[in-house]
Amino acid sequence: MAREYIHHHQDGDITYSDRKRYLWALSIVLHTMPMAAVALYFHLDQVWMLTLPLILSYVIIPMIDYVIGEDKNSPPEAIVSQLEDDTYYRWLTIAVVPVHFMALITIAWVVGTESLSASMMLALAIMAGGYSGMSINTAHELGHKNTGLEKMLAKITLAVPAYGHFYVEHNRGHHLWVATPEDPSSARMGESIYTFALREIPTSVIRGFTLEKKRLPREGKSFWSTDNSILQSYTLSALLQGSLIYLFGWVMLPFLTLHNISAWFILTSANYIEHYGLKREKLANGRYEKCQPHHSWNANFIFSNIILFHLQRHSDHHANPTRRYQSLRNFDQIPQMPIGYHGMYMLAYCPPLWFRVMDKKLLSLPHINGDLNKVNQQAS
């Protein structure tokens, strides 16, 4: 049975049970899929088994979302402090960290030791990159928290996809400028995901390093010191991926290159759909209004929210970045996506279909009501 939380109040007790409490462990199970695919490959001697994680991500997960549907339940605010203090949820995010490393190392071992066709190696690099891309989501959850252990684990996890600058850029860049034309991680209406990727990925790297370069001198430290959060993570990336090249040979160079690009593109895909076309208004003093719930696209689909640590309740995350995933709330009258993230990725990868579906939804939002001046648009 799910644990019951009770808040005693003079007007009557408030009780809450998280019906998804033990389902959250599926987030760990999902990331073992690359290892399961390798086991099936060797057991059945069927090379196509290695592509099962891709089929799971882009076909089965959207289907499960569609069949199971949504959960709009939110924990009562009076219960949130108890939920936040329940270490069960915290240990799930910690436990998944080594699984990310294991998934990459396992696939690298297969590529480095098996005789595979070029097309299968390409598929494996994309698959491994896709799962490493989800490690950025784990780092995202950990990196927003206020404990030294979780912050350290965030930087360690970002070593898997070689995306160490995210730790700085996301927290001190994206969250400050989200849903404004100045934010490279907020997509503009009319901008395809491919155009967005070419703008977002390099600009985010630059902004991350720029922010860290400003922070360290203020604290009396050198950019090249061991206190540089970005260099800490990238050093681990060099050790991890350098070790794979040493162990399995130069075939790792193209594999890891494609793996890294695929991982980065998964994050870009998430960034693309999370704030597409949404814009905060600029005030008379030249500053932007405070980020509101209607500045993020959300989804309440049960399965994809479980495996992504509630990332799809994105509005509450931006309102309360340190709030833990189990406590994130649903809001009424906010931008809602028609399906969970994995399904939205597939929609985004076909720009004409994306524009046909999402531009209509964007312009019909109550706070926009067809007014293009309230939309973050791609420059003509």
pLDDT tens digits, 249-269: 999 999 999 999 999 999 999
Q: What is the 3-state secondary structure (H, E, C) of 9-71?
A: CCCCCEEEECCCCCHHHHHHHHCCHHHHHHHHHHHHCCHHHHHHHHHHHHHHHHHHHHHHCEC
Q: Residue 14 has what pLDDT?
A: 85
Q: Residue 3 has what pLDDT?
A: 84
Q: Which residues of the chain have pLDDT under 50?
A: none
Q: Residue 379 has what pLDDT?
A: 78
Q: Residue 230 has what pLDDT?
A: 97
CA angle at 306 for the pair 300 and 310, rounded to the nearest 5°? 60
Helices and strands of the chain, counted as H and E runs = 18, 2
Q: Residue 1 has what pLDDT?
A: 58
CA angle at 76 for the pair 73 and 78, rounded to the nearest 5°? 165
